[in-house]
Structure 1
Amino acid sequence: MQKDRRRYRKQGQDMHTIGFAIYEIPEEYRGCQNVHLKKDFFLTHSSCARSETFINLREVSNRLRLPPGEYLIVPSTFESGQEADFVLRVFTEKQSETEELDDEISAELEDEDDISEDDIEDSFKSMFAQLAGEDMEISVRELRTILNRVVTRHQDLKTDGFSMESCRTMVNLMDKDGTARLGLVEFQILWNKIRKWLVIYREYDMDKSGSMSSYEMRLAVESAGFKLNNRLNQVLVARYAENEAIDFDNFICCLVKLEAMFRSFQQLDKEGEGVAEMNITEWLYMTMCG
């Protein structure tokens, strides 16, 4: 059932054409809730039942007879890329259980403690010296100038440029010594991240639009090492999307913030049990500095 479409009709939007498909859960996924099935699953598995038709009505319903087992219900619009709120209702003759399939939250983070100035190539040190000036540190304003020079060379990227606020956030999150500037090692770490994330951004910009849809964003974030649940992915899109798309500068800011928050949590989660305790000072420092 589609939600809130009467409200959107006032804005000139009609009902979406909707329907659903049902897939039998393969044996390797039975009993699992913490899994998000990807496109490959649907390319290699056919549905065992479908709605009789896809139609632009508020509600689509069908009566089906299926043998006992575990099934995945996938409600969708007929056309790809359309987003809408919906309600899914299931009535069964005998008692059954329903759960949402979703990923467990986790992150694969590279060890940054082993990086020192001795590990940095002379060519990068020379470039850093030219960019940083006499104080040998990169300020927020200098970082903005550097990043905007870089993105202007990549005509395939859709971006309105890195703002002072986004660069300030990056400096605050990457600054380890509290100077509000980036030293050589800090800048090298950020630079390596941006280069890696640029490759991911291009790979998952599947329609080559220069920006990312919510679907592309989810795949790109996971490729960068972060597994998030549905709710968190929705929060990221709501926070970083402009005109229903995520451009390159917002993508980078999102990943910098995401990684910094995971690292902060891991430092507080001393037992590695997924639970962190903090006092008011730690909470304010973590939230205000980010």
Structure 2
Amino acid sequence: MGNSWITQNLGRWTNDADETAFFERELMHMYAKTYDIKYPELKARLYVPVSNEANPGSTEVNYKQFDRVGKAKLTAPGAVDSPRVDVLGKEFIRPVRLATASYGWHLLEVRQAAMAGRPLETRKSSAARRAVEEVLDEVAAIGAPDFGIPTGFLNSAAVTIDAAAGAWSAATADVIIADVSQMLQNMATNTQGIERINTLLLPDAQWAVIATLPRSAQSDTTVLEFLLKSFPGLQRIEPWYRLTTAGAGGIPRAVAYDLSPDVLTQEIPSEFEQLPLFQKGQNFVVETMATTAGTALYYPRAIRYLDGL
């Protein structure tokens, strides 16, 4: 947004060039600062790779859900009967939805800030950015059924669900390790070893259990440390509060998967942006927005749920 709009329009409300210049400086500073904010507690961007490939003007996103079939075999030199390996795909269409929020100031707020020589309240722009990011995070995690995005990463009907032996809060280390081991073995068996997991996500409470529970009475290694050492392909075990009620019927759910853009992405055609300032009565308003089509799961067999832990 250029400064000309402010110069031309604020001038209708004040003849003070200093006030106009003050507003210009503050707004430009606020715009830049808002884009720099990070929200570490919003985890979807960490756990679901972001794709901005769709055009910002897109109204829908098409993607295919794949299943790898076939496997290689040893053959003699000159053989012509190599086994066929293929990828089967089913097409899905997701609508692109708009996440919006706005912030602004009354004319008197601008005048008072300019008179006092104090900055405009930047928390307004930060709150708008946070509100938009919260929508993106939620849609990536669980979808937006009322807006044509029925599910997300944590509740897809295409992902197989295993059942835990019981609540981890009362379980022994051996029971917890057996739950995780069985989950990983089931994925390897059901996909003939094709799909491998590198990430395990847990509800906050269950993550805290394994982060503090000793492997045994004679060990100073926690269950979390033991799992990472025992399964070489497992690179990270992380908490996510959204998993606390993500399971069927609102029970805790764990997710084991291959964290890779080949497996899943969250579709964000248009990242957060702040539109030009406009006048609404005695107020100056900035609209903000982003667009999302939620999470696309390309290889759901590379993801597995564990409920009831």
TM-score, reference length from structure 2 = 0.21
Higher helix share: 1
Q: Work out which structure has the larger RCO, using CA pairs closer than 8 Å and 6 or more positions apart in sequence.
A: 2
Give the structure with the higher percent strand: 2
Larger Rg: 2
